Structure 1
Amino acid sequence: MLAVLLVAGLGAGSAVQLNRSLPAATLTASVAETLKIPGKAPSLPWPEAGSAEIMIQGLGSLGRSGASEPAAIGSVAKVMTAYVILKEHPLEGDEEGPDLTVSAADVADYQARIPMGQSLVPVTVGEVMTERDALEALMLPSANNVAHMLGVWDAGSQDAFLVKMNAAADDLGMDDTEYTDPSGFLPSTISTAADQVKLGQAALQLPSFAEIVALPSASIPVAGTIQNYNDLLGENGVFGIKTGSTDEAGGNLLFSAYLTVGGRKLTIVGAVFNQPGANTPEQLAEVNKVVRKLLKAVATTVKEYPLLAADPVGEVRTAWGATTTVSPASAVKVVGWPGLSVPVTVTTTAPGPTVTAGTVVGAVEAGQSDPRVRVELRSDGVTPEPSVWWRLTRTGG
């Protein structure tokens, strides 16, 4: 009887062991938090003189050249004038904004600037310009007299407006910039390509600013039709931002352009400053020549590159020791350029006791900002069921 009971007990115990639920497998995956796009870093056709910087929004700096010391920037200073005005007096949609009435002092200021050969638009006493009219006059034909008008309209005096301009520069981290006039006519208004690229990126976040600087022409009171001095509009995706030219500053252009790569629309913001020339037309022609070359080079350099191959990056291991590797479902490709550092994140999901080939166990995400590239992480093979012996002899959970 004892033997029968023992056999019965063993049989019941074996049944319990064989029918116990299986523990979950473990998953390990290891990918560096930052990977560099393979290949030699690009060499762009930077200008021989002056300085330059190119930034791809959402990706980072593509490089810079020339001296880092601040220098005169001419009418590029008007970008900050427009930025401060629009931050203080935002324009939504097609709003014209409040009116500015031209005073006798404004006319006197205009007339005083004529002998110096400054960029101006004619004004008359009592003329009414909307804020949008004034900003178009400021940014398209680069009217120095309107820069002064806007500053006084906003802050009560030019000096008070300069305080706002320099405070805004500090807020944007433009440590090598100093504004001494709202038009940039004075050579004491100085900055760097890197600082102005920071400003360009911030200003383009204001839809009304981006709309105005992309205009080839506009119509305002008294002056009538005004033309944009930026001759590169429409070339190589260019949609802004501002030219600048004086004897001290040479030729300058803070520019923005669109570039579509791998179905993704990128925004380029760059600056080429202090280009040589005997006069404004020569200086701007020289800076335009440099920017054209740079944008063509950027278009051939910024592409979709493989960052991580579809090779094993981890392992699924069952409680009984069966294993299979896990890999990205396909190569992880990102938009950028060779040498660019790209943040990478691996997320995993707990597998069941076993996996089959192609079981999704997580994902690899790569990129500087949304939209990030996402590729599923999958098991490469099958983990077999445990043997009867393992089931019978297992201990623990």
Structure 2
Amino acid sequence: MHTSILRNRVTRWGTAVLLAAVPAATAVPAQARPVSSALPATGQAALWSAGRLTVSGPVAKPQPIASVTKVMTAYRVLADHPLKPGEQGPMITVLASEVSAYHAARRNGESVIPVAAGEQISEHKALEAMLLPSANDMARILARWDAGSIDGFVARMNETAAQVGMDNTHYADPAGVNTATVSTAPDLLRLDQNAMANPVLAGVVGEKSAAVPVAGKVRNSNPLLGTDGFVGTKTGWTSAAGSCLMFAVRQGAGHDRDRLAYGVLLGQPGGPESGTIFMAARRMAAAARAGR
């Protein structure tokens, strides 16, 4: 797709969508540097630092991505309903059918957040409820509110993926539970950069905790946040996807403080409590700071 067409769409959708903001090389594994020892030998990984891409694993093979899916959900919601920093946005009414769906998802062992029929939650609070504790039910509520139906929203997710240049990505649901929702580390790296360019989305994934209606205080599922320069982005885990992580980390101090490196890890061993994936992310961040 030509850059001029992308720019026209950016203008039409507003400043929340920065479709042309990421260098094209992030989507082309063949242009990557040789595999660094800082990247894990398992699963697949990608690191973007100082204008250079490093990858490892089968990065051209799409695989399930679990809850990192919710970054695209938030990105698309903010494209359709842009917010400025500090704004709460329009109110969303939770439907009785969505409360029933919450209970069903909870019985199935999904990551969910309590909701109540008729509950009023702002767009910003809904994004916090989805992204911090990784609530699948809030992802579905946001999708229905944004597009009128979950299926309609998923179609929009795939449109956006194509426009961003995520050629090896397919979304089948807004939460990442469906194993047909697949992507690659380089594709998600491109999304990570675009998402963090949105100050509202970057602000939400940078919160350690937030207070939301009904559920009360929720905490960010990313233990790296606020340590060693990590400022986002999203965790994920399912038995099919393994441990997954998108992250953004500051390059250093001084003039480098505002320069970010971005990383993606997919299909890593260990469950969400093992910590293996977070140790891998720390090694990648250290390599980025060292310029390797």
The TM-score bracket by the shorter chain reads 0.7 to 0.9
**Partner residue in 2 for 1:228:** 220
Supply the distance in 2 between the matched residues of 1:101 and 1:166 (Cα, whole angstroms). 25
The offset of 1:294, in angstroms, is 1.4
**Partner residue in 1 for 2:10:** none
Supply the distance in 1 between the matched residues of 2:215 and 2:47 (Cα, whole angstroms). 35
**Partner residue in 2 for 1:381:** none
For residue 39 of structure 2, the aligned residue among 27, 34, 46 is 46
1:141 aligns with 2:129: no
Contact 1:166-1:178 within 8 A present in 2 as well: yes
1:191 aligns with 2:158: no
The offset of 1:45, in angstroms, is 1.8
1:273 aligns with 2:266: yes
**Partner residue in 2 for 1:350:** none
Supply the distance in 1 between the matched residues of 2:255 and 2:235 (Cα, whole angstroms). 30
Contact 1:45-1:297 within 8 A present in 2 as well: yes
The offset of 1:297, in angstroms, is 2.2
Contact 2:70-2:174 within 8 A present in 1 as well: yes
Bigger Rg over Cα: 1
Supply the distance in 2 between the matched residues of 1:263 and 1:182 (Cα, whole angstroms). 37
1:296 aligns with 2:286: yes
Contact 1:44-1:294 within 8 A present in 2 as well: no
Supply the distance in 2 between the matched residues of 1:41 and 1:179 (Cα, whole angstroms). 29
1:299-318 C-alpha deviation (Å, 9 max, x unpaired): 22x2xxxxxxxxxxxxxxxx
The offset of 1:234, in angstroms, is 1.3
**Partner residue in 1 for 2:62:** 70
Supply the distance in 2 between the matched residues of 1:166 and 1:231 (Cα, whole angstroms). 30
5 Å-filtered alignment, 1:188-227, equals 188-227=180-219
Contact 1:140-1:217 within 8 A present in 2 as well: yes
The offset of 1:129, in angstroms, is 0.4
**Partner residue in 2 for 1:263:** 255
1:61 aligns with 2:49: no
Count of residue pairs brought into register by the alignment: 258
The offset of 1:264, in angstroms, is 3.2
Contact 2:192-2:262 within 8 A present in 1 as well: yes
5 Å-filtered alignment, 1:72-87, equals 72-87=64-79
1:179 aligns with 2:171: yes
5 Å-filtered alignment, 1:1-397, equals 43-56=36-49, 59-68=50-59, 69-260=61-252, 263-265=255-257, 266-277=259-270, 279-282=271-274, 285-300=275-290, 302=291
Supply the distance in 1 between the matched residues of 2:244 and 2:163 (Cα, whole angstroms). 24
1:281 is paired with a residue whose SS is coil
**When you count strand as a share of all residues, which structure comes out higher?**
1
Supply the distance in 2 between the matched residues of 1:243 and 1:119 (Cα, whole angstroms). 12
The offset of 1:258, in angstroms, is 0.8
Supply the distance in 1 between the matched residues of 2:168 and 2:52 (Cα, whole angstroms). 18
1:135 is paired with a residue whose SS is helix
Supply the distance in 2 between the matched residues of 1:61 and 1:79 (Cα, whole angstroms). 23
CA RMSD after TM alignment: 1.6
Contact 2:35-2:55 within 8 A present in 1 as well: no
The aligned amino acid for 1:273 is: L
1:94 is paired with a residue whose SS is coil
Contact 1:213-1:239 within 8 A present in 2 as well: yes
Of 259-268 and 201-210, deviating more is: 259-268
1:108-129 C-alpha deviation (Å, 9 max, x unpaired): 1101101211110000111110
The offset of 1:236, in angstroms, is 1.7
The offset of 1:43, in angstroms, is 3.3
Contact 2:229-2:252 within 8 A present in 1 as well: no
The aligned amino acid for 1:193 is: A
Supply the distance in 1 between the matched residues of 2:34 and 2:115 (Cα, whole angstroms). 51
1:260 is paired with a residue whose SS is coil
Supply the distance in 2 between the matched residues of 1:64 and 1:42 (Cα, whole angstroms). 6
Unmatched runs of 5 consecutive residues or more in structure 2: 1-32
The aligned amino acid for 2:89 is: G
The offset of 1:260, in angstroms, is 2.8
Contact 1:44-1:297 within 8 A present in 2 as well: no
2:252 is paired with a residue whose SS is strand
The aligned amino acid for 2:187 is: D
**When you count helix as a share of all residues, which structure comes out higher?**
2
Unmatched runs of 5 consecutive residues or more in structure 1: 1-39, 303-336, 338-397
1:16-54 C-alpha deviation (Å, 9 max, x unpaired): xxxxxxxxxxxxxxxxxxxxxxxx978332112101101
The aligned amino acid for 2:249 is: A
TM-score when normalising by structure 2: 0.85
The offset of 1:228, in angstroms, is 0.1
1:263 is paired with a residue whose SS is helix
1:136-178 C-alpha deviation (Å, 9 max, x unpaired): 0111000000000000001011110011000000001100000
Q: 1:104 to 1:49 in 2, by over 3 A?
A: same
Displacement over 4 Å in runs of 4+: none
